[in-house]
Structure 1
Amino acid sequence: MNYWLMKSEPNVYGIEHLERDRTTIWDGVRNYQARNFLKSMQVGDRAFFYHSNTNPPGIVGLMQIVAAQVVDPSQFNLDGDYYDPKSTPTAPRWHTVTVEFVRTFDNAITLATLRERFTPEQLLVVKQGNRLSVMPIPLRIATEILQLAG
Structure 2
Amino acid sequence: MACWLLKSEPDEFSLDDLQRLGQARWDGVRNYQARNFLRAMKPDELFLFHHSSCAEPGIAGIGRIVGEAFADPTALDPESPYHAPKASAADNPWTARQVAFVEAFPRVLSLPRLRQLPALADFALLRKGNRLSVMPVSAEEWAAIVAAARA
TM-score, with normalisation over the residues of structure 1? 0.94
**Contact preservation (8 Å) 1:6, 1:48:** yes
- Between 1:4-13 and 1:83-92, the stretch displaced more is 83-92
Q: What's the counterpart of residue 12 of structure 1? A: 12
Q: What's the counterpart of residue 101 of structure 1? A: 101
Question: For 1:146 and 1:3, how far apart are their aligned partners in 2?
Answer: 12
CA RMSD in angstroms, aligned pairs only: 1.0
Q: Cα offset for 1:55?
A: 2.1
Q: What's the counterpart of residue 147 of structure 1? A: 147
Runs (4 or more) in structure 1 with deviation over 6 Å come to none
What amino acid is aligned across from residue 42 of structure 1 in structure 2?
Answer: K
Q: Which runs of 5+ in 2 are unaligned?
A: none
Aligned residues: 148
**Partner SS for 2:59:** strand
TM-score, with normalisation over the residues of structure 2? 0.94
What is the aligned-residue identity percentage? 37
What amino acid is aligned across from residue 3 of structure 1 in structure 2?
Answer: C
Instruction: Spell out the pairing of 1:66-81 with structure 2 (5 A cutoff).
Output: 66-81=66-81
**Contact preservation (8 Å) 1:26, 1:96:** yes
**Contact preservation (8 Å) 1:105, 1:149:** yes
**Partner SS for 2:11:** helix
What amino acid is aligned across from residue 138 of structure 1 in structure 2?
Answer: S
Q: Which runs of 5+ in 1 are unaligned?
A: none
